[in-house]
């Protein structure tokens, strides 16, 4: 029988509060929308095909699927549609979709008429545990991920666990990677739980997934609460992402897969720096392998170094690299790209 458990987490952002409801449902979304308001719904083709019949009343703007649509051109398309619909400052925008939809919709809502109210129904595991939570909204610019955007919290995020049932298998693993990340940087008990429940997690056992999403949102919302604008603590959420983003530029098979290999690389870098021992690295590797995620990088070393260095333009010659001090505890050190590249060239392959 379907469990009706639900947990709500809160982030008090600079521009407003955000309530994240884990276990709430698309069917219940109207109760979170301001009384008497018909929302403008923004979704992608996939979600509209699968769930369009269950959307609340309201006009629907549909965008394409995939990272290639996470552009200013898509934002412009949305803004024109909002004008066409006669939207004004009292409009409410509801994004229904995964991370890409939420990132784009949050950005469009934040800049339309200098900002209108918005909320999300988050439909993928990756977006429920990461992208839709925390108020980072934006798009890519050319090869640079998330180069243009704003911090602005959605009024609510619904993490509807039952909507995960239509996800392709690869998308489940992609989401599990970010859950492992939360355990590695903040909570060894979450890692123990994943270890003990791998098969249930992979087969989307509802109670198991509920716990994984709730624990992840709990960790992420606390980190964001402490440092919404990523001046310190929030950088820990980038564990595995520096090398992971380089992999993702070369391999479009999924953010979580790239981050998984990036986390193993970061764990090995942590070992090289003397922060953790080989046993800890082996545990990270086994955990990730057990979730059908990659632990090595299938590209020539110089391609990875070049892809990683392309992010350099953002930061100059240094990078805030996230290491592990132990399993369940991260540390952030500013290092030079040269040091990171030396590690990639001499120790990673």
Task: For 137, list phi and psi in degrees, rounded to 5.
Answer: -125, 140
Residue of 21, 136, 186, 245 interacting with ligand GLY (CB under 6 A): 136
CB–CB of 277/198 below 8 Å? no
User: What is the rounded distance in angstroms from the CA atom of residue 34 to the CA atom of residue 36?
Assistant: 6
Stretch that binds ligand GLY, among 72-80, 128-136, 272-280, 300-308 (CB under 6 A): 128-136
Tokens 């604008």 map to which residue? 229
And the tokens for 52? 């369009």
Residue of 237, 276, 293, 308 interacting with ligand GLY (CB under 6 A): 237
Least separation in angstroms between CB 134 and ligand GLY: 4
91 vs 238 by CB, closer to ligand GLY: 238
Least separation in angstroms between CB 35 and ligand GLY: 31
234 binds ligand GLY (CB under 6 A): yes
Residue of 24, 44, 81, 130 interacting with ligand GLY (CB under 6 A): 130
User: What is the rounded distance in angstroms from the CA atom of residue 304 to the CA atom of residue 340?
Assistant: 11
Tokens 């060894």 map to which residue? 188
63 vs 237 by CB, closer to ligand GLY: 237
DSSP β-bridge partners for residue 63: 44
- What does the radius of gyration of the chain's CA atoms come to, in whole angstroms? 20
Least separation in angstroms between CB 185 and ligand GLY: 11
Other Cβ atoms within 10 Å of 280 Cβ, number? 17
Stretch that binds ligand GLY, among 2-10, 130-138, 197-205, 311-319 (CB under 6 A): 130-138
> How many chain residues are in contact with ligand GLY, going by CB under 6 A?
5
CB–CB of 292/173 below 8 Å? yes
43 vs 137 by CB, closer to ligand GLY: 137
Residues 274-293 close enough to bind ligand GLY by CB under 6 A: none
DSSP states of 268-292: HHHHHTTSS-HHHHHHHHHHHHTTT
Residue of 13, 99, 134, 175 interacting with ligand GLY (CB under 6 A): 134
Residues that bind ligand GLY (CB under 6 A): 130, 134, 136, 234, 237
């Amino acid at each position: 029988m379907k469990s009706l458990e639900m947990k709500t987490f809160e982030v008090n952002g600079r521009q407003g509060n955000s309530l994240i409801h884990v276990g709430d449902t698309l069917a219940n979304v109207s109760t979170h929308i301001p009384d008497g308001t018909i929302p403008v719904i923004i979704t992608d083709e996939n979600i509209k095909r699968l769930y369009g019949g269950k959307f609340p009343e309201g006009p629907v703007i549909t965008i394409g699927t995939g990272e290639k649509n996470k552009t200013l051109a898509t934002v412009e398309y949305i803004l024109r549609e909002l004008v066409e619909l006669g939207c004004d400052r009292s409009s409410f925008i509801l994004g229904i979709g995964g991370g890409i939809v939420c990132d784009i919709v949050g950005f469009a809502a934040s800049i339309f008429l200098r900002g209108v109210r918005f909320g999300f129904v988050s439909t993928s595991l990756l977006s429920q545990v990461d992208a839709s939570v925390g108020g980072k909204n934006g798009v890519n610019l050319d090869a640079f991920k998330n180069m243009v955007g704003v911090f602005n919290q959605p009024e609510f995020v619904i993490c509807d666990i039952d909507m995960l049932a239509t996800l392709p298998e690869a998308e489940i693993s992609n989401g599990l990677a970010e859950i492992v990340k939360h355990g590695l940087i903040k909570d060894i008990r979450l890692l123990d739980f994943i270890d003990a429940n791998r098969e249930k997690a992979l087969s989307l056992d509802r109670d198991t997934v509920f716990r994984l999403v709730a624990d992840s949102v709990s960790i992420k919302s606390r980190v964001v609460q402490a440092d919404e604008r990523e001046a310190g603590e929030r950088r820990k959420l980038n564990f595995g992402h520096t090398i992971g983003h380089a992999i993702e530029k070369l391999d479009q098979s999924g953010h979580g897969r790239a981050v998984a290999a990036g986390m193993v690389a970061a764990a090995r870098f942590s070992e090289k720096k003397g922060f953790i021992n080989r046993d800890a690295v082996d545990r990270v590797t086994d955990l990730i392998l057990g979730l059908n995620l990659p632990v090595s990088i299938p590209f020539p070393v110089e391609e990875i170094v070049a892809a990683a260095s392309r992010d350099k333009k953002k930061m100059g010659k240094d990078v805030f690299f996230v290491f592990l001090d132990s399993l369940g505890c991260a540390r952030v050190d500013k290092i030079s790209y040269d040091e990171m590249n030396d590690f990639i060239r001499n120790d990673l392959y």
